[in-house]
């Protein structure tokens, strides 16, 4: 086998691992959609499925790729003097593959959590009587509460003057964590991927992520604003981890 043939074999091997990645996720698609359709108000089952699929794809395929590299490495030795650059060119393909795996799985993960979020939001909307939630307990006048208020509020009724305590329903509280947060991640996904290689994109990611939260959770706008400013201005946040 010539060195070129060896390189082709290595390329084909990595390309087959990529095919395998898509194969596993394609097979999971139908049962996963079924699970999402049956979600109620949380996405805990999605975490378990995600962990399993991460094992079957990122973990197992990376292990195979590393074993493949060991073989590639010893095959290259048979050519005797191989320039360092040639070896590191081949090793870079392994690093690129790892990068590719992590990014592709990250996109997949964001996508399933966003799908789950839309389903949960749909369920909450169907089961919550918005008008009933936001009326004065004394006189029935409408109170100026956002449909998705996530914090408890004391509010004086403008019609009768009595003070109402608004406590968000558990399902509404859960929306912030299971729905809005995941939709914000989806909204800012491209910036987060870019941020792996580009520190400026990291600020873009935080800005997009928190802007989405501020727009969709107006009650906590100040809270998110502080969080955002802290992250955007913090010099220690030099890397976004996946």
Binding site for Zn ion (CB under 5 A): 136, 138-139, 141, 157, 159-160
User: Around 51, how many Cα atoms within 13 Å sit in the side-chain half-sphere?
Assistant: 6
Compare residues 51 and 159 and give the one whose CB is closer to Zn ion: 159
d(CA 63, CA 144): 56
The two structure tokens encoding residue 39:
């979600």
Helix (H, G, I), strand (E, B) or coil at 217: coil
DSSP state of 218: G
Query: Least distance (Å) from Zn ion to the CB of residue 129?
Result: 18
Helix (H, G, I), strand (E, B) or coil at 6: helix
Compare residues 49 and 141 and give the one whose CB is closer to Zn ion: 141
Compare residues 62 and 145 and give the one whose CB is closer to Zn ion: 145
Query: Least distance (Å) from Zn ion to the CB of residue 140?
Result: 7
Query: Least distance (Å) from Zn ion to the CB of residue 138?
Result: 4
The answer to whether 230 and 207 are in contact (CB under 8 A) is no
DSSP state of 179: I
Compare residues 139 and 152 and give the one whose CB is closer to Zn ion: 139
Query: Least distance (Å) from Zn ion to the CB of residue 157?
Result: 3
User: Around 203, how many Cα atoms within 13 Å sit in the side-chain half-sphere?
Assistant: 9
Compare residues 159 and 199 and give the one whose CB is closer to Zn ion: 159
Compare residues 125 and 156 and give the one whose CB is closer to Zn ion: 156
Query: Least distance (Å) from Zn ion to the CB of residue 147?
Result: 19
Query: Least distance (Å) from Zn ion to the CB of residue 153?
Result: 15
Alpha helices in the chain (DSSP H): 3-37, 44-54, 60-77, 84-127, 130-133, 170-175, 181-187, 189-194, 199-216, 221-233
């Amino acid at each position: 086998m010539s060195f070129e043939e060896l390189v082709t074999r290595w390329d084909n091997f990595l390309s087959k691992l990529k095919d395998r990645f898509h194969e596993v996720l394609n097979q999971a698609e139908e049962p996963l959609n079924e699970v999402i359709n049956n979600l109620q108000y949380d996405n805990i089952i999605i975490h378990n499925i995600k962990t399993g699929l991460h094992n079957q794809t990122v973990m197992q395929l990376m292990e195979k790729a590393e074993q493949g590299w060991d073989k590639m490495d010893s095959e290259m030795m048979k050519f005797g003097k191989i320039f360092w650059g040639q070896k590191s060119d081949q090793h870079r393909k392994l690093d690129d593959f790892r990068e590719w795996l992590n990014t592709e799985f990250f996109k997949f993960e964001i996508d399933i959590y966003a799908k789950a979020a839309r389903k949960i939001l749909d369920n909450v909307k169907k089961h919550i009587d918005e008008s009933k939630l936001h009326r004065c307990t004394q006189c029935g006048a409408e109170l100026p509460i956002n449909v998705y208020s996530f914090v408890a509020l004391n509010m004086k009724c403008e019609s009768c003057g009595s003070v109402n305590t608004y406590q968000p329903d558990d399902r509404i509280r859960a929306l912030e964590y299971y729905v809005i947060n995941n939709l914000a991640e989806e909204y800012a996904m491209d910036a987060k991927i870019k941020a792996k290689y580009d520190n400026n994109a990291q600020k873009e990611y935080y800005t997009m992520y928190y802007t989405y939260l501020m727009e969709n959770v107006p009650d906590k706008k100040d809270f998110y604003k502080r969080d955002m400013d802290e992250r955007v201005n913090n010099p220690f946040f030099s890397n976004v981890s996946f």
